[in-house]
Amino acid sequence: MISQTSEYALRAVICLAQHPGELHTATKIAKLTKVPDPYLSKVLLILAKHEVVISKKGLHGGYGLAHSPDKITLWTIINAVDPIKHIKSCPLKLESHGTHLCRLHKRVNDSINMIEELFKTSTVTMILDQPTKSIPLCESKK
């Protein structure tokens, strides 16, 4: 449903939210999130361009959240790096369908809309605050 780039962006933002007020290098975030460092560096630059994260250069620089985790939605993160694609016309390019989707593609697009709405209403804080046995990005304690 979402791209690997979106998954990496979500991991990075969750990681930063777990360390509020701290700046982390791309290398440290990559290690914590198990994302290849060069790829994550590009993702972080995109997130900084879209003002999801901040980037500070220099000796004590790194990346941090640009906003409070309760103000950052999963949709904001995903939309910044690789927006979810909707079906606007027939994927089979059938002339008779044009922009009038058949029942199958309408249902698929409706599902995409539902998932997008869930992402729009889910904040980073909600993800971190939901009690589960697994903590995002952390090995469970035995």
Domain count for the chain:
1
pTM higher than the cut 0.85: yes
Assigned domain for 97 exists: no
More confident residue, 35 or 97: 35
pLDDT of amino acid 123 = 98
CA-CA distance, 24 to 35, in Å (whole number)?
14
pLDDT of amino acid 88 = 86
Assigned domain for 31 exists: yes
pLDDT of amino acid 139 = 54
46: three-class secondary structure by DSSP = helix
Q: What are the tens digits of pLDDT across the range 27-47?
A: 999 999 999 999 999 999 999
Percent of the chain whose pLDDT exceeds 90 = 70
Assigned domain for 113 exists: no
* Tokens matching residue 97: 């369908």
Domain that holds residue 37: 4-83+124-129
What does each C-alpha distance from 112 to 63, 90, 92 come to in angstroms?
A: 31, 15, 18
Report which DSSP code applies to 23: -
* Domain harbouring 60, CATH code: 1.10.10.10
Assigned domain for 62 exists: yes
